[in-house]
């Protein structure tokens, strides 16, 4: 430790030398001194039996002392303690010396040594503070007093430096964590933008359009949904090439964006098809708006030096949100109207009416028959295995519902699940699925069963109590039931959903967020809700080999999930290339036709008993008409 001695008398300097040259130091006396000065210390340097070694620097004037302190700071060898006489003629006195030294070195401990009272302690502290770094010794001083004061203050000085370094390191780590959090949020934002926007035009994509439509149908008031398709687009691609076709798509999107009603959502749904969503006063007003957009597309454009005549046709449906309509049905009706406009000729706008849809009458017959399906024993469950990434061990099965009718044969869940969702039939259907799945999982050697719950089921009063009662009645442990929900199911009332999921997790149930990446996905949602795993939507898995954006989204979801300690289940795995890519990316579990199509209960039992599968099963054809309760896909 470096000690600075400042005094104008040689005899005093000699006294300091004798004081610090005294052999040995009483360690206990040092500890007592430190305790008295600083309120106790557990620092091992204070408790050590070895005396502290000091290097003394002697100055006879205040100016010299100031220069020495300045040089020491510049050389990164600062003083721990300075003993300073108050009266030092000629030159600056001790008060001014302490003021200048403190200005240079804010960490040094100052000990005022004087036999006079030219300045009060308060006066010196005002210019050389803080007060806890200014101390006093009266002349003549005792050897032990100087030695113990120096040792205690030097030890404290070293401890303060160590603490400052620790705080600086902690502050740097906090900054690093904040930067990592910001980077993670930025990556999430980019991934979500990619998931919700078309890579060619940067327009909202089909998923974003469906999301906007799903929000709009829950709000009262008239709105219009239009499907717009380009005329003669295939001719442009075939004659001028796909790059020209891409340029035309971008031009048309710009035209639609400029001519659409204020506040409209203009999305590219895929290929040369666009979707427009906007509020309207009446059907006539909506039809006029669509005619303006279609007319604006009928213009001559220059694409890669070639003159191209644009053109478009539109199908339109006008809906009142108060009617509680289904977003999928809204898009289906607009698409039917678009088909009618295509049949009528190019550059035409057609508004949907019931005569266009024989399917509506079929839908009504299905709605009437669904309530009787359970009584007639027309429903069955199929099971699709969920396997671990590395060992291909079957860890669980997803339960998929099928409906076979005597009149229409197999009815797609994409048809009857939305119908059931619009009425209380979904609860009766969901209860049957849950009971049947729990009865089956009880016979498996250890796998879990994954059951989807629709938004309406999830919002059911006492949902937690209903699930608990079902597993207790079946005699199944909660850990063997995985509850699959979509973000749509939990977004309407996030606080209630968070509480519900937390209670379910506390009881031991597994929670999986289904179709992740297509809904209201955000880091906030994942952190807010108690989850076990994320299920990557099959559309991203399917696009991995063709679209760089899909592969980037899959990697981002896997990285995000693993960082948060969540399992990652990849759905829709159909090829060996997808399996290898997902393994490398770090997905924890895989599910899809590559391993097995949905199978009946008996085959699932045999697979559960074997525990392991590999590759495809040549004896099993991909099943049709199987889907998840609540999702309809």
pLDDT at 26: 47
Position 621 confidence tier, pLDDT thresholds 50, 70, 90: very low
Residue partners of 301: CB distance under 8 A and separation at least 6: 248, 251, 307, 308, 309, 310
- The answer to whether residue 49 scores a pLDDT higher than 60 is no
Position 369 confidence tier, pLDDT thresholds 50, 70, 90: confident
Q: Which CATH number fits domain 2-166: 3.40.50.620, 3.40.50.2300, 3.40.190.10, 1.10.357.10?
A: 3.40.50.2300
- Nearest-5° angle of CA 37, CA 39, CA 43? 95
pLDDT at 453: 94
Residue partners of 606: CB distance under 8 A and separation at least 6: none
- The answer to whether residue 622 scores a pLDDT higher than 50 is no
pLDDT at 288: 95
The predicted-structure confidence for 497-528, as pLDDT tens digits, reads as follows: 889 999 999 999 999 998 876 655 555 567 77
Strand duo 589-590 + 567-570: pairing: parallel
- The answer to whether residue 27 scores a pLDDT higher than 90 is no
pLDDT at 553: 85
The percentage of residues in the chain with a pLDDT greater than 70, rounded to a whole number, is: 88
Distance separating the N- and C-terminal Cα atoms of the chain: 76
- The answer to whether residue 367 scores a pLDDT higher than 80 is no
- The answer to whether residue 252 scores a pLDDT higher than 80 is yes
CATH level 3 topology of 206-356: Alpha-Beta Plaits (3.30.70)
Residue partners of 620: CB distance under 8 A and separation at least 6: 596, 597, 599, 603
Strongest mean pLDDT among 30-34, 562-566, 588-592: 588-592
Spell out the long-range contacts of 569-573 with Cβ–Cβ below 8 A and sequence spacing 24 or more. Answer: 569/386, 569/512, 569/533, 569/534, 569/535, 569/536, 570/535, 570/536, 570/541, 571/535, 571/536, 571/537, 571/538, 571/541, 572/537, 572/538, 572/539, 572/541, 572/542, 573/541
Overall average pLDDT of the 421-445 stretch: 91
In terms of phi and psi (left: phi > 0; alpha: psi -120 to 50; beta: otherwise), the region of 565 is left
pLDDT at 417: 87
More confident residue, 157 or 38: 157
CA distance 320 to 303: 40
Position 80 confidence tier, pLDDT thresholds 50, 70, 90: very high
Mean pLDDT score across all residues of the chain: 85
H-helix segments, 260-401: 283-297, 327-344, 358-373
Q: Which helix (H) or strand (E) holds 413?
A: helix 413-421
Sheet holding 349-351, edge to edge: 265-270, 273-279, 222-230, 312-320, 349-351
Tokens 């849809």 -> residue:
357
pLDDT at 352: 92
Closest CA to 266 of 357, 184, 202: 202
CA distance 86 to 584: 74
Position 360 confidence tier, pLDDT thresholds 50, 70, 90: low
The predicted-structure confidence for 269-324, as pLDDT tens digits, reads as follows: 988 999 999 999 999 999 999 999 999 999 988 888 888 888 999 999 999 987 77
What are the beta bridge partners of residue 268?
274
Residue partners of 45: CB distance under 8 A and separation at least 6: 52, 155, 158, 159
Closest CA to 289 of 299, 279, 303: 279
pLDDT at 22: 64
The predicted-structure confidence for 161-200, as pLDDT tens digits, reads as follows: 889 889 989 998 999 998 888 888 888 888 888 888 998 9
3-state SS class at 629: coil
The percentage of residues in the chain with a pLDDT greater than 90, rounded to a whole number, is: 46
CA distance 145 to 30: 10
More confident residue, 515 or 268: 268
Closest CA to 628 of 439, 363, 385, 413: 413
pLDDT at 1: 87
pLDDT at 419: 81
CA distance 456 to 22: 87
Contact 63, 11 (CB under 8 A): no
Tell me if the domain spanning 361-610 has CATH number 3.20.20.450: yes
Position 121 confidence tier, pLDDT thresholds 50, 70, 90: low
* Cα-based distances in Å from 7 to 4, 59, 72, 152: 10, 7, 19, 22
Overall average pLDDT of the 190-211 stretch: 89
The predicted-structure confidence for 443-456, as pLDDT tens digits, reads as follows: 999 999 999 999 88
Overall average pLDDT of the 242-257 stretch: 92
Query: Which token pair is 423?
Result: 């009425």
3-state SS class at 476: coil
pLDDT at 479: 96
Closest CA to 544 of 589, 504, 577, 519: 577
DSSP letter string, 264-291: -EEEEEETTEEEEEEE-SSHHHHHHHHH
Closest CA to 622 of 382, 379, 380: 382
- The answer to whether residue 50 scores a pLDDT higher than 60 is no
CA distance 248 to 236: 9
Q: Domain segments of the chain: what residues?
A: 2-166, 206-356, 361-610
- The answer to whether residue 116 scores a pLDDT higher than 70 is no
pLDDT at 630: 36
In terms of phi and psi (left: phi > 0; alpha: psi -120 to 50; beta: otherwise), the region of 538 is alpha
- The answer to whether residue 476 scores a pLDDT higher than 50 is yes
Contact 292, 259 (CB under 8 A): yes
3-state SS class at 387: strand
pLDDT at 130: 81
Count other Cβ atoms within 10 Å, centred on residue 215. 16
Indicate if the alpha-carbon torsion angle 245, 251, 253, 256 is positive or negative. Answer: negative
Indicate if the alpha-carbon torsion angle 78, 79, 84, 89 is positive or negative. Answer: negative
In terms of phi and psi (left: phi > 0; alpha: psi -120 to 50; beta: otherwise), the region of 590 is beta
pLDDT at 127: 75
Closest CA to 265 of 216, 221, 299: 216
Position 617 confidence tier, pLDDT thresholds 50, 70, 90: very low
pLDDT at 614: 55
Closest CA to 437 of 483, 399, 482: 399
- The answer to whether residue 570 scores a pLDDT higher than 90 is yes
DSSP letter string, 566-596: -EEEE----SHHHHHHHHHHT-SEE-STTT-
What are the beta bridge partners of residue 482?
450, 510
Closest CA to 341 of 312, 314, 310: 314
CA distance 38 to 35: 5
Ranges 84-88, 389-393, 421-425: which has the least confidence: 421-425
């Amino acid at each position: 430790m470096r000690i600075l001695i400042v005094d104008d008398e040689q005899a005093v300097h000699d006294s300091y030398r004798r004081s610090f040259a005294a052999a040995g130091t009483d360690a206990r006396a040092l500890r007592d001194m430190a305790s008295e000065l600083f309120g106790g210390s557990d620092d091992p340097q204070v408790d050590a039996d070895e005396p502290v070694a000091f290097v003394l620097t002697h100055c006879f004037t205040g100016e010299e002392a100031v220069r020495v302190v300045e040089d020491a700071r510049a050389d990164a060898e600062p003083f721990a303690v300075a003993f300073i006489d108050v009266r030092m003629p000629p030159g600056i006195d001790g008060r001014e010396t302490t003021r200048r030294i403190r200005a240079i070195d804010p960490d040094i401990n100052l000990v005022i040594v004087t036999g006079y009272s030219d300045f009060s302690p308060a006066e010196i502290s005002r210019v050389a503070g803080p007060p806890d770094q200014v101390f006093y010794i009266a002349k003549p001083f005792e050897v032990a007093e100087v030695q113990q004061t120096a040792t205690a203050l030097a030890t404290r000085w070293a401890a303060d430096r160590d603490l400052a370094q620790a705080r600086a390191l902690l502050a740097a780590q906090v900054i690093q964590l904040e930067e990592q959090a910001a980077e993670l949020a930025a990556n999430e934002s980019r991934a979500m933008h990619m998931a919700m926007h078309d890579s060619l035009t940067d327009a909202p994509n089909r998923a974003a359009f469906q999301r906007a439509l799903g929000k709009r149908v829950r709000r009262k008031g008239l709105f219009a949904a239009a499907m717009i398709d380009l005329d003669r687009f295939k001719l442009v691609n075939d004659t001028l090439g796909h790059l020209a076709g891409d340029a035309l798509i971008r031009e048309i999107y710009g035209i639609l964006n400029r001519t659409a009603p204020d506040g409209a959502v203009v999305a590219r749904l895929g290929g040369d098809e666009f979707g427009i969503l906007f509020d309207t006063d009446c059907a006539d007003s909506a039809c006029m708006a669509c005619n303006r957009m279609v007319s604006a597309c009928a213009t001559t454009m220059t694409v890669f030096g070639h003159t191209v005549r644009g053109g478009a046709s539109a199908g339109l449906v006008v809906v009142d949100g108060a009617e509680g309509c289904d977003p999928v049905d809204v898009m289906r009706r607009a698409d039917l109207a678009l088909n009618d406009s295509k049949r009528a000729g190019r550059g035409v706008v057609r508004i949907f009416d019931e005569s266009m849809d024989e399917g509506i009458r079929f839908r009504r017959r299905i709605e009437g028959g669904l309530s009787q399906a359970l009584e007639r024993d027309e429903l069955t469950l199929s099971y699709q295995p969920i396997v671990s990434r590395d060992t291909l061990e079957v860890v669980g099965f997803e339960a998929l519902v099928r409906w076979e009718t005597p009149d229409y044969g197999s009815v797609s869940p994409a048809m009857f699940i939305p119908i059931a969702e619009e009425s209380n039939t979904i609860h009766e259907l969901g209860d049957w699925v849950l009971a049947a799945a729990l009865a089956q999982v009880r016979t498996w050697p250890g796998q879990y069963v994954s059951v989807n719950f629709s938004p309406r089921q999830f919002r059911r009063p006492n949902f937690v109590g209903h699930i608990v009662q079902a597993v207790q009645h079946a005699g199944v442990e909660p850990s063997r039931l995985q509850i699959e929900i979509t973000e749509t199911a939990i977004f309407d009332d996030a606080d209630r959903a968070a509480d519900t999921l937390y209670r379910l997790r506390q009881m031991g149930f597994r929670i999986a967020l289904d179709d992740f990446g297509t809904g209201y996905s955000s880091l906030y949602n994942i952190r807010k809700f108690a989850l076990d795993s994320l299920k990557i939507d099959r559309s991203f898995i399917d696009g991995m080999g063709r679209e760089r954006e899909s592969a980037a989204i899959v990697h981002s979801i896997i990285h995000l999930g693993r960082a948060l300690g969540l399992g990652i289940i990849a759905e829709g795995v159909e090829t060996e290339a997808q399996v290898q890519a997902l393994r490398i990316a770090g997905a924890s579990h895989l599910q899809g036709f590559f391993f097995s199509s949905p199978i009946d209960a008996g085959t699932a039992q045999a697979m559960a008993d074997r525990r392991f599968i590999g590759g495809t099963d040549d004896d099993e054809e991909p099943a049709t008409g199987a889907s998840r309760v609540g999702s309809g896909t």
